[in-house]
Amino acid sequence: MIAYTCKYTPTELFEGLGEKAVKLNPTVEHFEKADQLSHQNLCSFSRALLQTCLESGVKKL
């Protein structure tokens, strides 16, 4: 599985290579795990994306 955020991502290319593509639209209530790996001054979208990946087990982004 490959997770992506940009709406222009060529998902057909990933699927043609046998990888499932999943769009991430991170909405989180806390940044507990993300704050352990990043600085708190990092933008909230980046922190939410990191938190979502850590919680859902995303391996490829």
Contact 55, 30 (CB under 8 A): no
For the chain, the structural domain boundaries read 2-56
pTM over cut 0.95: no
| Whether pLDDT at 61 is above 80 | no
What's the distance, CA 26 to chain centroid? 7
Tell me: the pLDDT tens digits for 6-46?
889 999 999 999 999 989 888 889 999 999 999 889 998 89
Question: Which residue's structure tokens are 């979502």?
Answer: 52
Cα–Cα dist 10/7, whole Å? 9
- 59, 1 Cβ separation under 8 angstroms: yes
Distance CA 2, CA 46 (A): 17
